[in-house]
Amino acid sequence: MSYTYKYPRPALTVDTVVFGLDVDNNKWLVLLVERGGEPFKGKWAIPGGFVNVGESVDDAALRELEEECGVKKVFIEQLYTFGAPDRDPREHVVSVAYLVLVNIKDQQIIAGSDASRAEWFPVKSLPKLAFDHQKILAMAKKRLQGKIRYDPLGFELLPKKFTLTQLQNLYETILDTPLDKRNFRKKVQAQGILRDLGEIQKNVTHRAAKLYSFDKRAYRKVVKSGGHFSF
Amino acid sequence: MSYTYKYPRPALTVDTVVFGLDVDNNKWLVLLVERGGEPFKGKWAIPGGFVNVGESVDDAALRELEEECGVKKVFIEQLYTFGAPDRDPREHVVSVAYLVLVNIKDQQIIAGSDASRAEWFPVKSLPKLAFDHQKILAMAKKRLQGKIRYDPLGFELLPKKFTLTQLQNLYETILDTPLDKRNFRKKVQAQGILRDLGEIQKNVTHRAAKLYSFDKRAYRKVVKSGGHFSF
DNA sequence: CCAAAAGTGTTCAGGCTACACCCATGT
DNA sequence: ACATGGGTGTAGCCTGAACACTTTTGG
C-alpha cells in the first residue's frame, strides 16, 4: 500500500528529550537510545519517531515515548520544531522536539522496549549524537535552565516526597551554580507551595530531614491571585 | 505529476502572526489576509502556506510572508507547532507558527500581493478567524507580552528613531497597563542601550522630544557581560 | 564523642514604587 | 497667554545577598 500526493511533503517526526535527575549523586541525566538501523547505526540518539496521520503531534510524542522507552505519565512540553532540509541525510524530515521531565524512581521500567537499547547519560558527558540531536539537546538544556527559575517544573524531577536539601541540590545541579542554603530555604518556603508532610527521612546516617511535597493546589491559588513562582 | 510515499504524511504548513504598532494611536495591530478559497472562504486568517520539500521551515515562513503580504526584512521567531489532526477540515495539516514583528512605517508596501487582500486589524477587535487561528493568535499575544519584558523585542515595532514617550506607549499598549513616566525613563536609560541621537522631533505642536535609537551594539555588550535587559 | 547533614536570623545595599512640578514650543 | 506634552528627583519599602553556629542522629 502507498500514498500519493500532488505535491511532495517533508516527513514529520517527533523527538523527545527526556531529562531525569540522579537525586543521590546530583547528576543531570538524559535518556538516549542506540540506533538499530541506518543512518547513524550504533550511534546514540534522542528517542523519537514518525507522526501518524490523524494523530496529534503531542500524542505522537507520548506514543513514541512509551513504545521506545516505556516512559509513561510524565511532564511534557513542546520545545521547538527543527526544519532544516539537510538534518536527515535521507530526505527532508521536519521534527517537532519535546521536553520531557521524569522522576527516575517512578520510571525504572525504562530501557526494556522496542529493538533499541535505552540508557541514561549524564548531560555533562555525552556520546556523539546522531543527526542534529546535539543541537536539540542544547536547546532543551537551555530551556529547562531558563524555565526552572520561574515555573515549578523542577518538582517533576524529584520523588513525590523530598527534602529541602534535595530540592536545593536540584536547582544547583540544573543551574550549575551553588546557592546559599538559608536564602534558598527562606525563599522557597515564602512561596507557600510546599506541603510539610510531618514525616522525616528514614535510614539516613545523620539527623533526618523533614519531607515535603509540592502543593499543586496552593500553587494554582498563588497563580490565580496574580502571584508567580520564582525559585 | 505526483509523489508517492509508503506511509501517509500530514501536510506541513507555516503560519505567521505579524504584529505591528500604530504609534500615533497606540493600537496593537495584527496583519490578516482574507481567504480566497475554501475552506473558510471570505474569512480572515493568519498568512501562511505550505512548506516546500528542501526548503527550511524558517525559509518557508519568510517566503510566504513576502509572497502573501510583501513583508520583508523583519524580526521573526518560531512560536509553536500546532498539530491537532482536526485543525483543518480537509486533512491532517500540521502548522509551524511564527511570531513576526514589523515597523509599520517601513512596511506600507503591504496589502498588494497574491490573490488575497491583506489588512491590519487592532488586536483588541478582531473578526472571527479561520481554522484554529484564534488559538494561534492568542498564543502569539501571550508570547510577545511575556517576552517584551526581558528581551528588547519592542524596538522592532517602532521606527528607527523614536522618543521615550513612544517607547513607553509601546509597553503600555502591549502590556495593557499604565506605567509611571519617571520610573520608566530612569529604568530604560539605566540599561544603557539607547543611543541619544542629538536630534529632536519635527512638526509637533508642543515641546519637541529628543530622538533615540536602539543601540544593538551596546545591548550585545551588556548581554556578554552577564547583564540582561528588562524593560 | 565524632561525623554528617539539618536547621535557623540579622544586617546591608540596591532596586522598585509612589508621587508633583517646571520647561519648551507652537498657536 | 495658554495648551500640550517633555522632562526631572527624592524618600520609603521591599527584596536579594552575605554570612556562622547550634541541633539531631547514627556509628
Query: What three-state secondary structure class fits B180?
Result: coil
**Mean of the per-residue pLDDT values for chain A?**
94
- Would you tell me how many other CB atoms lie within 10 Å of the CB of residue B208? 13
- Beta strands at B27-34 and B118-122: parallel, antiparallel or unpaired: antiparallel
Q: Which residue, among A19, A11, A17, has the nearest Cα to A134 in the 3D structure?
A: A17
Residue A112 has pLDDT above 80, yes or no: no
Of A8, A53, A94, the CB nearest to B92: A53
Q: Is the dihedral of CA A154, A157, A160, A161 positive or negative?
A: negative
Q: What is the pLDDT of residues A176-199, one digit of tens each?
A: 999 999 999 999 999 999 999 999
pLDDT tens string, chain B, 231 residues long: the values are 899 999 999 999 999 999 999 999 999 999 999 998 889 999 999 999 999 999 999 999 999 999 888 888 899 999 999 999 999 999 999 999 999 999 998 876 555 555 568 999 999 999 999 999 999 999 999 999 999 999 999 999 999 999 999 999 999 999 999 999 999 999 999 999 999 999 999 999 999 999 999 999 999 999 999 889 999
Give residue A73's pLDDT: 84
DSSP H or E segment with residue A69? helix A57-69
CB B53 to CB A85 under 8 A? yes
Residue nearest to nucleotide C15 (CA to C1'): B187
Instruction: Name the phi and psi angles at A65, rounded to 5.
Output: -60, -45
Contact B109, B30 (CB under 8 A): no
pLDDT at residue A110 tops 70: no
Q: How far is A55 from chain B (nearest CA, A)?
A: 6
Predicted local confidence at residue A150, as pLDDT: 95
Chain B CB contacts of A11 under 8 Å are 9
Report d(CA A66, CA A31) in Å as an integer.
13
Asked if B204 CB < 7 A from strand C, the reply is yes
Number of other CB atoms surrounding residue B217 within 10 Å: 10
Query: Distance (Å, rounded) from C-alpha A21 to C-alpha A174?
Result: 9
CA distance A147 to A77: 11
pLDDT at B61: 98
| pLDDT given at position B111 | 54
Which of B:43-72 have CB within 8 Å of A?
50-58, 60
Above pLDDT 70, what percent of chain A?
Answer: 96
Judged by CB atoms closer than 8 Å, whether chains meet at A54 and B81 is answered as: no
Phi, psi (degrees; rounded to nearest 5) at A221: -60, -45
Q: Which residue in chain B has the smallest CA separation from A55?
A: B85
CB of A18 within 8 A of CB of A72? no
Contact A56, A9 (CB under 8 A): no
**More confident: A116 or B120:** B120
Cα–Cα dist B174/B19, whole Å:
10
pTM: 0.95
Q: Which three cell numbers stand for residue A133?
A: 540531536
Query: Comparing C-alpha atoms, which of A71, A74, A92 is closest to residue A83?
Result: A92
The percent of residues above 90 in pLDDT, for chain A, comes to 87
pLDDT digits (tens, 9 = 90+) for A118-152: 999 999 999 999 999 999 999 999 999 999 999 99
Question: Which residues of chain B are within 8 Å of residue A8 when distances are taken between CB atoms?
Answer: 3, 52-53
Res. A46 pLDDT band, cuts 50 70 90: very high
Q: What is the mean pLDDT of residues A100-114?
A: 74
- Closest chain A residue to B11, measured at CA: A9
pLDDT band, very low/low/confident/very high, at A206 (cuts 50, 70, 90): very high
Angle, nearest 10°, between helix axes A133-147 and A164-175?
130
**Section A217-225 average pLDDT:** 94
Who wins on pLDDT, A110 or A150?
A150
Q: Residue A45's pLDDT is what?
A: 97
Q: B interface mutation test: which of A16, A56, A79 has the most B CBs within 10 A?
A: A56
Nearest to B81 among A3, A50, A78 (CB): A78
For B112-141, letters b (16+ CB in 10 Å) and e give ebeebebbbbebeeeeebbbbbeebbebbb
pLDDT at B87: 98
B223 CA to D7 C1' distance (Å): 29
A43: three-class secondary structure by DSSP: coil
Q: Which residues contact B85 (CB under 8 A, 6 or more apart)?
A: A53, A54, A55, A56, B10, B92
- Greatest alpha-carbon span in chain B: 70
Quickly state the pLDDT bin for A70 (edges 50, 70, 90). confident
Q: Is the Cβ pair A12, B9 closer than 8 Å?
A: yes
Supply the DSSP string of A141-209, one letter for each residue. HHHHHHHTTTSTTGGGGS-SSB-HHHHHHHHHHHHTS---HHHHHHHHHHTT-EEEEEEE--S-SSSPP
Task: Specify whether the backbone of B184 is left (phi greater than 0), alpha (psi in -120 to 50) or beta.
Answer: alpha
B180 touches strand C (CB under 7 A): yes
- Mutation for A interface: B12, B14, B88, B143, most A CBs within 10 A: B12
Footprint of strand D, using CB within 7 A? A 180-183, 187, 204-208, 230; B 163-165, 181-183, 185-186, 200, 205-210
Using pLDDT thresholds of 50, 70 and 90, give the confidence band for residue A59. very high
Between A and B, how many residue pairs show a Cβ–Cβ distance under 8 A?
A: 95
Give the pLDDT band (50/70/90) at residue A109.
low
Question: Which residues 100-159 in chain A show a CB within 8 A of chain B?
Answer: none
Which of A4, A51, A60 is opposite residue B2, by nearest beta carbon? A4
| A37/A79 Cα distance (integer angstroms) | 26
